[in-house]
Structure 1
Amino acid sequence: MKLPENIQGFIKAQNNQDSTAFANYFTEHATVSDEGSSYSGREEIEGWIEEATEKYNMQLTPIDFSQTGSKGKLTLEVSGTFPGSPLVMNYHLELDGSSISSLKITD
C-alpha cells in the first residue's frame, strides 16, 4: 500500500513517540476527537498524544488508506498497553494541503 508522505510521517512520528513531530503534521488550528474528548490547536494535540503515548505506549500499523479530495480514511492496527490490544481503528482525516486540519478516531 502506498501512503502519502505526510501520512507516512504522521505514523512514523507516533511510532517514534515524538509528540512534537506528530503535532507538526497538523495545521495550527486543527482539531482532534478521540474517546469523547476534543483537542484544538497544535499545543493541545501535542499534549493529548504525549499523554496517550505515555499511558498506552501505542504503535500504529497501517492497514488501508483512501482519499477523496480533502477527506481521508486511514485504517490502522493500534497496539499498546490497553485492554483489547491490538485494536483496528479508523482515523477520519480532513487534509489541508500536506497538513491535517481534523482527525476523528473511531473503532
Structure 2
Amino acid sequence: MTLNLPPAIAGYFAAANAHDGAAMVRHFAPDALVIDEQRERNGHAAIREWEEETYTQFHPRIEPQSVESYADETRVMGTVSGNFPGSPVVLRFVFRLSGGLITRLEITA
C-alpha cells in the first residue's frame, strides 16, 4: 500500500529508516520540536542527538500504515520494530508542517 505523505514526512521516515541523521534534520525547521517518550527536543542539534540515541539503543524501523490529514496536522500510524521489549508496536506520529518543513513531531502509543 502506498500512502500519500507530504514530502517532508516521507523524507523523515526514509531518513530515519536509513539511520541518516543529517538527511533527517533537513526535513525539520531549524526551531522544530520533537516530543518522544514525553521528552522534548528543540532544534536540529537536539533532534539529531535524539535520532542517534534512538538508533543506537533500539535500531528502529518504521513502516507507515495509515495517514490522516487535518487543517493543521498530519497523523501517521506506523508499525515500529526494533531491539526493544514488545517489538513491534504501533505508534502515532503527529506532524505539523510549515513551509514544507516539519515544525513539530509528537510520537505516542
TM range (shorter): over 0.9
Deviations 1:22-43 (A, max 9, x none): 1111100001111121100011
Letter in 2 for 1:45: I
Contact 2:9 2:102 in 1 (8 A): no
Number of equivalences: 107
Look up the match of 1:67.
69
Quick one: distance in 1 between partners of 2:95 and 2:9? 10
* SS of 2:96 mapped into structure 1: strand
Kindly report which structure 2 residues correspond to 1:2-81, keeping only aligned pairs within 5 A, or say none.
2-81=4-83
Q: What is the percentage of aligned positions where both structures have the same residue?
A: 32
Quick one: distance in 1 between partners of 2:31 and 2:7? 21
Letter in 2 for 1:3: L
List runs of 5+ in structure 2 lacking aligned partners: none
Deviations 1:34-65 (A, max 9, x none): 11211000110000111101110010101011
Letter in 1 for 2:78: L
Quick one: distance in 2 between partners of 1:83 and 1:24? 30
Deviation at 1:67, TM superposition (A): 1.3
Deviation at 1:4, TM superposition (A): 2.2
Quick one: distance in 2 between partners of 1:5 and 1:31? 18
List runs of 5+ in structure 1 lacking aligned partners: none
Give TM-score scaled by structure 2 length.
Answer: 0.93
Quick one: distance in 1 between partners of 2:28 and 2:72? 14
Letter in 2 for 1:16: A
* SS of 1:69 mapped into structure 2: coil
